[in-house]
Amino acid sequence: MNILLVDDTRTEQHIMTVRLSDMGHEVVCCSNGQEAIKLYTKYDFDLVLMDVIMPVMDGHEAARRIRSLGDDWVPIIFLSGRTSPEDIAAGIAAGGDDYLNKPVDEKVLAAKMTAMQRISAMRHRLIVVSQELEKANDELQKLANADGLTGLANRRIVDEYLEKETTRSIRSGLPIAVIMIDLDNFKAYNDTYGHVAGDSCLKKISKVLKNTISRPEDLPGRYGGEEFCAILPNTDLDGAKIVAERIRTNVEELKIPHSGNPDNNIVTLSIGVSSHIPRKQAPSNQILSEADKALYQAKMAGKNIVMSSGR
């Protein structure tokens, strides 16, 4: 273990350090409670062995301050010649966990260290388990936020992000843009090539979105079925149209065969774009509705085109 030994007597420091080192422990020494607190906050100790009566700051006060740091897992054992019931009770009340009577018997010290080592091993295992649980929770949260097929943000996250960024846009007075994307004649694609090929196609489209929408603050997502969406904060209509046209062109250049799309015989996209500075009284999904209307216009205009709505 890494042990902090606090004792104002050099002789006691030397004797205890030799004994503990012979048991395989690493020992750091200091002479009063104030020094102990500084060392405790600087290094990772498994155990504190602390004299009670010391200059500058006594052991009880040092223990109270160590416990106030919020770490109750590191045991504190007091070293003292005072072992009356009142002394022991005062030490436990101050934050101590045990007492060793001075002069410390070597066999008793060895037994105490064996017990403390079990506690230390348990503490470190709990830390590892806590870290593993935290990592697992992070992964679960990512899965809960992502579309299972494409890995893009799912509809719930897109809606939440739109609401959050709309609120930010109202405060900042900066525009926010939404791009709605739909694969042309995708039902015919599934009917012709099968759903496995359809899933593969959707993955390819999502990859284009990830590669094209590159700003950290922009969020591409799958909105449902063959429909995708992108939220672009601080983006005016012209900027959003450039991004949308780039997405459309990049998908067209994939030249994914699609015999059910008669005008092109490849997979194409219809895209609706909207951008504005939202008003406080307007619903957060108004811009989404505008982009959806623009998408409908793109479908009516012959597909494989970007149409826009905004101000």
The encoded tokens of residue 176 equal 């926010």
Q: Are residues 119 and 203 in the same domain?
A: no
Q: Using pLDDT thresholds of 50, 70 and 90, give the confidence band for residue 143.
A: low
Q: Which residues contact 111 (CB under 8 A, 6 or more apart)?
A: none
Q: Hey, is 154 helix, strand or coil? A: coil
Residue 174 domain-assigned (yes or no)? yes
Q: Are residues 185 and 107 in the same domain?
A: no
Q: Are residues 46 and 185 in the same domain?
A: no
Residue 136 domain-assigned (yes or no)? no
Given a cut of 70, whether residue 41 has pLDDT beyond it is yes
Q: What is the Cα Rg of the chain in Å?
A: 33
Domain stops at, among 131, 166, 193: 131
Q: Are residues 174 and 291 in the same domain?
A: yes
pLDDT at 6: 96
Q: What is the pLDDT of residues 236-261, one digit of tens each?
A: 999 999 999 999 999 999 999 999 99
Provide the b/e sequence for 20-47 (b: ≥16 CB within 10 Å): beebebebbbbbbbbbbbeebeeeebbb
CA distance 311 to 291: 12
Q: Are residues 182 and 305 in the same domain?
A: yes
Q: Are residues 87 and 174 in the same domain?
A: no
Domain stops at, among 97, 131, 165: 131
CA distance 34 to 57: 6
Neighbours of 243 (CB within 10 A): 22
pLDDT at 131: 86
Q: Can you give the CATH number for the domain in which 63 is found?
A: 3.40.50.2300
% of residues, the chain, pLDDT over 70: 97
- The residue that leads in pLDDT, 214 or 300, is 300
* Domain extent at residue 168: 155-310
pLDDT at 272: 97
Residue 65 domain-assigned (yes or no)? yes
Residue 140 domain-assigned (yes or no)? no
Q: Are residues 119 and 182 in the same domain?
A: no
Q: Are residues 190 and 100 in the same domain?
A: no
Instruction: For residue 86, indicate whether it is catalytic.
Output: no
Tell whether pTM > 0.75.
Answer: no
Quote the mean pLDDT of the chain.
91
35, 165, 226, 290: which one is catalytic? Answer: 226
Q: Are residues 211 and 297 in the same domain?
A: yes
Q: Using pLDDT thresholds of 50, 70 and 90, give the confidence band for residue 110.
A: very high
Q: Where are the alpha helices (DSSP H) in the chain?
A: 10-22, 33-42, 59-68, 85-94, 106-145, 155-172, 186-193, 195-212, 237-254, 286-300
Residue 54 domain-assigned (yes or no)? yes
Given a cut of 50, whether residue 311 has pLDDT beyond it is no
CA distance 228 to 251: 13
**Considering its fold, how many domains does the chain have in total?**
2
Q: Are residues 31 and 106 in the same domain?
A: yes
Q: Can you give the CATH number for the domain in which 166 is found?
A: 3.30.70.270
| Order of strands, sheet of 227-233, starting from the edge strand that comes earlier in the sequence | 219-224, 227-233, 176-183, 269-276, 306-310
Residue 67 domain-assigned (yes or no)? yes
Residue 137 domain-assigned (yes or no)? no
Q: Are residues 159 and 123 in the same domain?
A: no
Q: Are residues 90 and 164 in the same domain?
A: no
Given a cut of 90, whether residue 133 has pLDDT beyond it is no
Q: What is the pLDDT of residues 150-188, one digit of tens each?
A: 999 999 999 999 999 999 999 999 999 999 999 999 999
pLDDT at 174: 93
Residue 226 domain-assigned (yes or no)? yes
8 Å CB contact between 3 and 46: yes
8 Å CB contact between 6 and 54: yes
Q: Using pLDDT thresholds of 50, 70 and 90, give the confidence band for residue 83.
A: confident
Tell me: cis bond preceding 55? Omega within 30 of 0 counts. Answer: no
